[in-house]
Amino acid sequence: MKLSLVVPCFNEEGSIAPFYKAVSDTFGGHDFDYEIVFVNDGSTDGTLQVLKKLIAGPVPVRIISFSRNFGKEAAMLAGLENADGEYVTIIDADLQQHPSVVLDMIERLDVNPDIDCVAAYQSKRDEDAKMSFFKSGFYKTINLITDTEFVSGASDFRTFRRPMVDSIVEMKEYFRFSKGIFSWVGFNTEYIPYTVNERVSGKSKWSFVKLFKYALDGIEAFTTRPLRIPFWLGILFIIISLPLFIAALATDRSVTAAVVYFVGGTVLVCLGILGEYLAKIYIQGKNRPVYIIKENISNR
Ligand code: UDP
Ligand code: MG
């Protein structure tokens, strides 16, 4: 068996060396082959230089370097496309997800041929109340309005069997939302709890605003139901307007101002929803690549 570790890296100069050591320590004594596929996602610090030093080391390493920052989704896709292991793991560079958990994932795949993926979810979350509220609201909403299942707290930290990886890289959409893609392709996923460690170096790249935009992308990528909102609101307004008209005629009072604001505001919201999808069709229609590789090197 061969294992590929796919590691998206954006400004991780301080994390790479401890990560590499943790991986070597964890997998060194085992009887399977492994490789590390690092994807340098347009880092502006010394990440690429630190990565290139690993080429001289004993572990088979591939370094894919993007021409600029394309985001973690693009980095994961590039990594999966360039990994050739029978088992493929996506893991962060910052050691928040410890490689020892991967051993557990591998064992579960080994003993149960019916399982195609073992995914880790955070057993206890160490985040502020606003973030917890936002995340649980997001999972409730997306599960309510899409037909794809999104498991709350499940991370991108997972190990796949080869056939599932091949299916995932078949999905060529530009606006990628992996948690949806992993679920949409089907197969059997087992979820195991894990504890998130402290970041070994540097800081998180996700702000609240960035996460909020990502959440909207996720919803738009997996359901077109919001596009039906204008239709049903239109019906609702027609129904509401009838008694208003009758009341206005009967009492000679004008309800125009309130109606104009209400209907005007709603129409703009609906146009906004249409615009969101239209913009995405427009970008996807250009057929731009999800990422651009500047350099792809390996010591194999
Ligand atoms: N990452 C990336 N491109 C980005 C942002 C993040 O490749 O634009 C990588 C990052 O280097 C790390 C992983 O994705 O290995 C997770 O990012 P981070 O630790 O910032 O997220 P968090 O753990 O805080 O959710
Ligand atoms: Mg992290």
- CA pair distance 176, 185, nearest whole angstrom: 13
Our measurement of the distance from residue 96's CA atom to the centroid of its chain's CA atoms, rounded to an integer in Å, reads: 16
Higher pLDDT, 56 or 198: 56
Q: For residue 187, name the pLDDT band (cuts at 50, 70, 90).
A: very high
Distance from the alpha carbon of residue 196 to the mean position of ligand 2, in angstroms: 9
Taking the centre of ligand 2 as the mean of its atom positions, its distance from the CA of residue 38, in whole angstroms, is: 15
CA–CA separation, 198 vs 97, rounded Å?
9
Residue 93 contacts residue 7 (beta carbons within 8 Å): yes
Mutate to test the pocket of ligand 1, among 37, 40, 72, 208 (most ligand atoms within 8 A of CB): 72
- Which is nearest to 104 in space by CA: 89, 122, 86, 124? 89
Residues 189, 116 contacting (CB under 8 angstroms): yes
Amino acid residing at 133? F
Alpha carbon 93 to chain centroid, angstroms: 16
Q: Which residue in the block uniquely carries the two structure tokens 């996602």?
A: 41
Q: CB-side exposure of 259: number of CA atoms within 13 Å?
A: 13
- CA–CA separation, 61 vs 57, rounded Å? 8
- Report the run of H or E that residue 82 belongs to, with start and end: helix 72-82
Judge contact between 227 and 145, C-beta under 8 A: no
Task: Give CA torsion, residues 281, 285, 290, 295, to 10 deg.
Answer: -160
CA distance 89 to 26: 14
- What is the pLDDT averaged over residues 232-249? 82
134-174: per-residue pLDDT in tens? 888 888 999 988 888 888 888 899 999 999 999 999 998 99
Percent of the chain with pLDDT over 70: 99
Q: Mutate which of 205, 210, 293 to test ligand 1's pocket (most atoms within 8 Å of Cβ)? A: 205
For residue 93, give the ligand nearest its CA: 1
Rounded to the nearest angstrom, the distance between the alpha carbon of 257 and the centre of ligand 2 is 51
CA 236 to ligand 1 center in whole angstroms: 44
Task: Answer positive or negative: Cα dihedral of 117, 123, 128, 131.
Answer: positive
Nearest CA to ligand 1 atom 2: 72
Average pLDDT over residues 234-252: 81
User: Which residues contact ligand 1 via a Cβ below 6 A?
Assistant: 8-10, 12, 41, 69, 71-72, 75, 92-94, 96, 204-206
Q: Residue 75 CA: which ligand 1 atom is closest?
A: 7
Q: Which of 94-98, 235-239, 252-256 has the highest mean pLDDT?
A: 94-98
For 203-213, the pLDDT digits (tens) are 888 888 888 88
Q: What is the pLDDT of residues 50-63, one digit of tens each?
A: 999 999 999 999 99
Q: Which residues of 13-29 are buried (b: 16+ CB within 10 A; e: fewer)?
A: bbbbeebbeebeebbee
Report whether pLDDT(125) > 70.
no
pLDDT band at 262 (very low <50, low <70, confident <90, very high): confident
Q: Compute the average pLDDT of residues 116-137.
A: 84
- 141: which residues sit within 8 A by CB, 6+ positions away? 219
As a whole number, the mean pLDDT across the chain is 90
**The pLDDT value given to residue 284:** 86
pLDDT at 293: 97
Centre of ligand 2 to C-alpha 32, Å, is 27
Percent of the chain residues topping a pLDDT of 90: 53
